[in-house]
Structure 1
Amino acid sequence: MTTTCPPPADTAPATPATPGGLLRRHRDFRLLWTGETANKFGSAVTGLALPLIAVTQLQASGLQVGLLGAAGWLPWLLIGLPVGVWVDRLPSRPIMLASSATSLLLFATVPLAAHLGVLTLAHLLLVALATGVAGVFFQTAYTAYLPRLLAPADQAEGNAKLHGSASAAGIAGLGAGGLIAQLTGPVSSLLANSVTFVLSLWCTRRIRHREPARAEAPRRELRREIGEGLRLLARDVWFRTFVLFGATSNVMLTGYQSLLVLFLVRELGLAEGTVGLLVALASTGGIVGAAIARPVAARLGTARGMLVLELALPALALLIPLTAPGPRLALLVLGGFGVSAGIVAGNVIKSTFQQAYCPTALLGRLSASSSVLNFGAIPVGALLGGLLGDQLGLRPALWLMTAGIPLAALILLASPLRTRRDLPTEPAAGI
C-alpha cells in the first residue's frame, strides 16, 4: 500500500495543544480516530457474529459459548507481560498495522470454511484465540502510542473522543451484525467487517507522526523488565486499586455477557436481528458515558466523579435478569445502558489519569501488566458464566453475574478515592 503523504520526520514531537476541536486541527489524531472507530465497528460485528454462529449453526452449549468468549482473551494471560516489554522497546505504529492485518486475514477464514462446508466449533475457537493474540499486541501498542501522539493538554479530549466513538461504532456494529445475520445468516456478517479492517489499516498507515527515537539502553533480561511492570502495579496504590477493580468487574461483566445471546435466543425465543438491536440499544450508554465523563469530573472532581459513575450507573444491571418478552425487553436496554455508561465514563477518567501519572517509558509495561490482570479475568468470567448457565439455568446465572457488577465497585469505595476530590495530575515520583 502506498501513500501520497510527504515523508515525516522520525523525531516529530506530539502536536502541541492549540485552540479548536481536536478532530479538526490534528490530522494524525483524526486518522487514528477514524481507523479505531472502523476497527471497533468490525470488532462489534464479529463479537456478535461468533456466538450467533456457535449457537444457531453449531448448536453450542452454554459452556462452549463461554469457551469461545474465553479464547479471545486467554492470550492476555499467556503473553501479555512480555508483549508489554516488547512494545516499550519497539515503535508502536508498525505493531498496530501488523496486528490489524493479521486479524483481518484470520476472520476471513470463517466464511471461507462455512462456504466449503468444513466450519467447526474448533475452527471458531482457534480464530478467537489467534485474533486474541493479535489483539494483545494491538491494544498494548495503541495504549502506549496515544500519549506520544497527543500533547498532555489534549489527552483528556482525545480519550473522551476515542471512547465515545468506540461506543458509537460498537452500537452500530451490533445492530448491523444482527440485521445482516437475520437477513443472510451470521456467517455472512463476518464479511461486512472486512471493509472496516481495511479502512483501519489505511488510516493507521497514513499517520505522519513517528515516535521519537528511543535512547539506546542495555537490554536487560525479559524477566526483570516484566517484574518492573508488576512491581509498578503492586507498589502504587492508584494503579493497584484500578487493576483490582477492573479485574473483578470484568469477571462479572463477561459472565453475564457470555450468557446474553443464549438467554435471548433460547430463553426468550428472539430472532438474530432483534438480539442485535437490543444489545446495540443497551450499548448506547457508552456514548453517553464518554460525553459526561469530563463534565462530571470537572464538577465533582476526578476521584469523586469516578466513584459516582462506577457505583450508581452499573447498579442498573440488576434489571437485566428481569427481562421477558414484550414491554419487559426494555429492562435489558435500561440495565445495559447503565452498565455501559458507567464503565465507559470511568475508563475515560482512568485513561487520562494513567497517561499523566505514569512515566512514558513505562506505559507499555503498565498497560500490559494491568491488562494481563484486567483482561485475564475475562476468560474466567466467560467460563464461569457458561458453567453457571448450564448448571443453574440461564436466568439464575444472570442474577448472580449482574449482582456482582455494582458490588465490584466497593473496591473503589474502600480505596483512597473515598477521601480525595481529584486523582493526582503530576507524574508519580520514584517510579
Structure 2
Amino acid sequence: MTEAPAKPVSMFRNADYRRIFTSVGASQIGLQVAYFSISIIAVVVLDLSESQIGVLYAMDQIALVMFGLLVGVWVDRLRDKPIIVVSEILRGVVMLSVPVAWALDALTAWHMFAAMFLLGLTSVFFDIGQASYVPRLIDNRHLASGNSRIQGIRSASDTGGPLAAGPLVSLLTAPVAIVVAVVSFAVSAFSVARIEYREEEPEKPEKPHLGVEIVQGVKFIFGDKTLRGIVLVSAWCNLSIGAFQAMLMVFLIREAGQSSEVAGFVLAGSGVGGVLGAMLVGRISKKAGVGPTAIAALALSGPGMAIVAASGPGWGAAVAFVGQVVFVAAIVVFNVNVISYRQAVTPDDMQGRVGATQRVICWSGLAVGSIVGGFTGDLFSARTALLIAAAMLFAGFLPLLRTPLRKLREIPEEGALAS
C-alpha cells in the first residue's frame, strides 16, 4: 500500500486552501441569493400560505435526510474534488430552471418544491465532500483555525448575499436574480477544479457492504459520549432553527410590513454575526476552553433569536438586525468548535460517513422544524412561531452540561477515537 501524501500545514500561503476558501465563499453567495429569491417568489409571487412555505423550506432538508447516509458512504469511497465540482455544476442547472420556467410562464409551486428538493440534494454532496476535503488539505494543528476562516467567509457571503439579493430582486424580479446564484456556483466549481493537491484513490473494502459502512458511521458517533451529546442537542436546536428560518421572511414582509430590501438588510445580520463569531471563536476558546465556549455560545443564541421575534415595523428592522447578529454569532462559535472536534477525532477514511450521519440527524430536526413552524404560523402567527423557536433554542445548552464537552479545553489529536 502506498503511503499517503503529507498534508499541507499552511493555510493562506497554501494556494489550494485559498481555492477551497474561494469556492465556499462563492457557493455561499449563490445559496443566499437563491434562498432569498425563492423566499420572495413563495411569499410575493406565488402567495403561498405559511404551511406551504414551511413545507417548501423542508424540501431542502428532506433531501439530506433521505440520501445523506448514502452520500456519506459514496464520499468515503470516491475522491472529494470531483464530487464537489459536479455538485456545484448541478446546483447551477437546478437553479437555472427557475428563471426559464418563469420566462415561459410555467412557474408553479410544484416546480419550486422540486427545485428546492434538488438544490438540497446537490448541496448534500457539496457539503459532505467539502467537509471531508478540508482535513485532507490542512493538519489538526490548523484545523480549528482553518474551519473558523471558512466559517468566516461563509458568514461574509451571508452578509453580501442578502444585501445584494434585495436590490437585485427589486430591479430584476426574483426569478431573474437567481441567475446570479448560477454564476456563483460556476465560480465555486472552477475554484475547486484548480486545486492541485492530488488525493489518493480511497481504499475500497474487499467486500463492500453499504449497510455495514453506514452502521460504522452511526456507531462511531453514538459510541462517544461527547459526539452523541453534540449530535442530539444539535438536532433539538435545529428544530427551532428550522421553524425560525421558515417563518422569518413571512414575519418580516407580512407581519412587520418590511420591503424586500429591508428584509435583505435584516438577513445580512446573519453574515455580520457569522464574521464576528468566526473572529472571536479562536480567542475565546483559547482562554475559556473549546467545550465551555461552545456551551456558553449556544446558551446565548436563543436570546438573540428572541430579539428578532420581538422587533416591529419601520425602525424595528434595526432591532431584528441586532438579534440576527447575536443569534448567528453564537451559533457560529458553537458550530466551529464542535465541528472541529468531530473532524479531529474522526479518521480520514470515515470523515464522509461520520459527517453525513451528523448532518442527517441534525437536518431531520431542520426539516421537522420547518414544517411545524409553518403550521404554527398558520394557526397563530409567524411571530408566535419565532418566539417558541427562541425558547426551544435557549434550552438546548442544558443537556451539554452533563457531557464531557463542558471540560474539553483543546481540540484532541487526529483520530483520537479511531481505536
Give the deviation of 1:137 after TM superposition.
1.3
Q: Please tell me whether residue 246 in structure 1 is matched to residue 234 in structure 2.
A: yes
User: What amino acid is the match of 2:382?
Assistant: L
User: What amino acid is the match of 1:321?
Assistant: A
Structure 2 match to 1:311:
299
Q: TM-score, normalised by structure 1?
A: 0.93
User: What amino acid is the match of 1:168?
Assistant: A
Moved over 6 A (4+): none
Distance 1:37 1:199 in 2: 10
Q: 1:313 to 1:385 in 2, by over 3 A?
A: closer
Structure 2 match to 1:357:
345
Say whether the 8 Å CA contact 2:154–2:271 is kept in structure 1. no
Q: Please tell me whether residue 177 in structure 1 is matched to residue 170 in structure 2.
A: no
Structure 2 match to 1:258:
246
User: What amino acid is the match of 2:147?
Assistant: N
Q: 1:57 to 1:250 in 2, by over 3 A?
A: same
User: What amino acid is the match of 2:63?
Assistant: P
Distance 1:267 1:118 in 2: 29
Q: 1:282 to 1:100 in 2, by over 3 A?
A: closer
Which of 271, 296, 309 is the aligned partner of 1:321? 309
Which range moved further: 144-153 or 384-393? 144-153
Q: Please tell me whether residue 157 in structure 1 is matched to residue 139 in structure 2.
A: no
**Aligned ranges 1:13-52 → 2 under 5 Å:** 13-17=6-10, 22-23=11-12, 25-52=13-40
Give the deviation of 1:421 after TM superposition.
3.8
Q: Please tell me whether residue 267 in structure 1 is matched to residue 260 in structure 2.
A: no
User: What amino acid is the match of 1:104?
Assistant: G
Structure 2 match to 1:7:
none
5+ residue gaps, structure 2: none
Q: 1:245 to 1:324 in 2, by over 3 A?
A: same
Q: 1:113 to 1:215 in 2, by over 3 A?
A: closer
Structure 1 match to 2:225:
237
Give the deviation of 1:426 after TM superposition.
5.1
The alignment partner of 2:315 has SS state of: helix
Structure 1 match to 2:114:
126
Q: Over aligned residues, Cα RMSD in angstroms?
A: 1.7
Distance 1:207 1:115 in 2: 37
Give the deviation of 1:430 after TM superposition.
5.3
After superposition, give the CA deviation of every residue in 1:271-302 in whole Å (9 maximum; x if it has no partner).
11111111113441110001111111101111
Give the deviation of 1:165 after TM superposition.
0.4
Which of 393, 413, 418 is the aligned partner of 1:405? 393
Give the deviation of 1:351 after TM superposition.
2.2
Say whether the 8 Å CA contact 2:293–2:333 is kept in structure 1. no
Distance 1:181 1:117 in 2: 18
Distance 2:222 2:344 in 1: 19
Distance 1:119 1:76 in 2: 25
The alignment partner of 1:73 has SS state of: helix
User: What amino acid is the match of 2:69?
Assistant: L
User: What amino acid is the match of 1:178?
Assistant: G
Distance 2:187 2:5 in 1: 25
Distance 1:429 1:307 in 2: 22
Q: 1:217 to 1:395 in 2, by over 3 A?
A: closer
Distance 2:302 2:385 in 1: 18
The alignment partner of 1:42 has SS state of: helix
Say whether the 8 Å CA contact 2:21–2:150 is kept in structure 1. yes
Say whether the 8 Å CA contact 1:304–1:422 is kept in structure 2. no
Distance 1:378 1:16 in 2: 35
Structure 2 match to 1:6:
none
Give the deviation of 1:71 after TM superposition.
0.4
Structure 1 match to 2:207:
219
Alignment: residue pair count: 418
Distance 1:13 1:399 in 2: 49
Which of 90, 99, 121 is the aligned partner of 2:87? 99
Say whether the 8 Å CA contact 1:13–1:149 is kept in structure 2. no
Structure 1 match to 2:55:
67
Which of 132, 140, 149 is the aligned partner of 1:144? 132
